[in-house]
Chains A and B, each alone.
Chain A
Amino acid sequence: ETGVTQSPTHLIKTRGQQVTLRCSSQSGHNTVSWYQQALGQGPQFIFQYYREEENGRGNFPPRFSGLQFPNYSSELNVNALELDDSALYLCASSLEIRSDTQYFGPGTRLTVL
């Protein structure tokens, strides 16, 4: 069984650009959540996808959007990047929406200049 993977590992963008981060969930996991972890902080919930539909969203603006695909992969898209978007972005998959355990990937470090 493979774990959760994310790509790319690191990314540098400039203010105003758009970025797409990718996540591959564990096989059979139909729920994926995305978190933003700013330097020195705990992760903050961005949103969750269940069977390709958004199911729950944190306090993030609409320029943060996502997609989930039938092959257990997902994307986080951020438009109009701001300096404060610099963070580690983590995805976490779980077997079912009511599962109590989320399995985290290694994260993508995004730097916005």
Chain B
Amino acid sequence: AQSVTQLGSHVSVSEGALVLLRCNYSSSVPPYLFWYVQYPNQGLQLLLKYTTGATLVKGINGFEAEFKKSETSFHLTKPSAHMSDAAEYFCAVRGGDNQGGKLIFGQGTELSVKP
């Protein structure tokens, strides 16, 4: 079975500061991992994904994440926060094919960016 835990339901940073959103996963099969962003009253937009290969994954809007198998983590980072980064962020792991490949989401982390 798969599960995702996002540490911290709310993170606040100053504009220009480092963004670090934490995600730990549990998976009985090699994981496919995802970060999605959700702006108010909108659907989910894919930021980046890890399937196989290079463990450091770069996504849109300057975000990146590193898959660390030994730590079962997939933390999201951005060197310098921008006001437009304020949103809800969800980490997800893909279920096995016998589960229809469903996405299993964490509870989300709300990112606030202070001027």
Binding site for B on A (CB under 8 A): 4, 6, 31, 33, 35, 40-45, 47-48, 50, 55-58, 90, 92, 94, 97-107, 109
Instruction: Identify which of A56, A90, A109 gathers the most chain B CB atoms within 10 Å of its CB.
Output: A56
Chain B interface size, under 10 / 10 to 19 / 20 to 34 / 35 or more: 20 to 34
A62 to B1, CA, bound (A): 23
Q: Which residue of A lies closest to B42 (CB)?
A: A106
Q: Which residue of A lies closest to B6 (CB)?
A: A42
Binding site for A on B (CB under 8 A): 4, 32, 36, 41-46, 49, 51, 90, 92, 94-95, 97-108
Asked if residues B44 and A43 are in contact (CB atoms below 8 Å), the reply is: yes
Question: Can you report 18 residue pairs joining A to B where beta carbons are below 8 Å apart?
Answer: A33-B100, A33-B103, A35-B103, A41-B108, A42-B108, A45-B102, A48-B101, A55-B100, A57-B100, A90-B43, A94-B101, A98-B101, A100-B49, A100-B101, A101-B46, A103-B46, A104-B44, A105-B43
Asked if residues A100 and B107 are in contact (CB atoms below 8 Å), the reply is: no
Q: Is the interface of B mostly helix, strand, loop or mixed?
A: mixed
Q: Is the interface of A mostly helix, strand, loop or mixed?
A: strand
Residues of the B chain whose Cβ atoms lie less than 8 Å from the Cβ of A43: 44, 90, 103, 105
